Amino acid sequence: MANPVSNTGFISTTSPVPLTSGADSLHADLRAGRKLLVSLHWLTATTKQLDITDAVDFITDYLGFGPDYRPTGQLGYSHVFEWLGGLKLLDHRQRPEMGICLLADGDACDHYGFEKLSFIYQALQFNATRLDLAADGCRFSPALLRRLWMADYVRSSARSPRDALPGRERVRSHKWFESPSGDTFYMGARSSSQYARCYNSRGYTRFEMELKKARASQTMGALCDGADMSATLGAAIAQFVMFVDQSDENRSRCRVLPFWARFVARLSNSGSITRLVGAPERTLDRLVSYIENQVAPSLAVYEILMGRRDNYDDVRRNLRRIGLENAKPKHRAMVKQFGGWLVEHDSPEHLKVYSVPKSLLEQNQMLNRHAIA
């Protein structure tokens, strides 16, 4: 069999290239594999020790703005409180034994970062049931990992399905998905406590570990106690999957392929950077993109039609007044978090807010005030 590793073009053997500068430097460095960025990408946690009202009040006090409320179901719960950026609290009014659920998807993790989410997690004594850690800027492609996986150049805790077809008994559980924007390779079974995926639809390659149940709880606890996130991810990957040669029938004695050994070493030996704080400006970027691409055409038609009857300035002023009167908590939160400015003249009083970050002293005072510490 031809070596599936050769002539791939995805493994860099050259010395590091100097980092670029400018607004797009990080994205360019991730695309080129010059940087390896580790971050929290998903957190689901539950608790039965706290009332939903107390939890909502605490998070609102900590963030400085309130959530939107929807009586709609998700994950088996019946009600959703959602803050700006996608952070959610879920509960079920008719089934209090379910407790409450904290849900931070990829967007919420980007917005708030590990530091804020871990503070909420510890203060409200949540227990993690799912935790995703991601490494961006990998120097390999999903297609390469798929070729190695299918050719059995792998040592993994993932097992082959019981209903495997003849000739595929040694092929471990996996899925492959292609789209015009990129490829995704899933490793293992989604129902297991460990699951991995590799995709390149963002312009760079991301490798992501999804941990569930006890593994998620133990890993989140370690991170909250100060464990290095990059090294933790490296250890989780090494435990789940290692791409190896076929020098021995016993995979445990096979040598790890050089590209994979370098990847795990970068994670484990301070060869990466870790993002602990959020990037809330991405939420604003998504809002601006939505307005420019989805709302602007209708808004232009509205101004043209109404402007034929009224003065254009009056049309815009009236539209702004209607928008502010119907503003939801997430809109007020955007004013507070992104503007830092005072809304003038015809704004409702509840929109007159400033953005003030909370210091560690203020955080401790808040914990004492809520009697949760």
Q: Structural domain boundaries of the chain?
A: 25-48+99-275, 281-370
What are the tokens at 162? 């019981």
Provide φ and ψ at 193, rounded to 5°: -80, -10
Contact yes or no for 77/50 (Cβ under 8 A): no
Contact yes or no for 351/325 (Cβ under 8 A): no
Task: Encode burial over 161-183: b for 16+ CB neighbours within 10 A, e otherwise.
Answer: eeeeeeeeeebbbbeeeeeeebb
pLDDT digits (tens, 9 = 90+) for 187-200: 998 889 999 999 99
What are the tokens at 47? 């608790």
pLDDT digits (tens, 9 = 90+) for 67-116: 988 887 788 899 999 998 999 999 988 888 899 999 999 999 999 999 99
Quote the CA–CA distance of 284 and 84 in Å, as a whole number: 10
The region of weakest confidence among 151-165, 234-248, 359-373 is 359-373
Contact yes or no for 336/357 (Cβ under 8 A): no
What are the tokens at 340? 């830092």
Compute the residue count for the chain: 373
Q: For the chain, report the end-to-end CA distance as a whole number of angstroms.
A: 60
Q: Is the pTM of this model over 0.85?
A: no
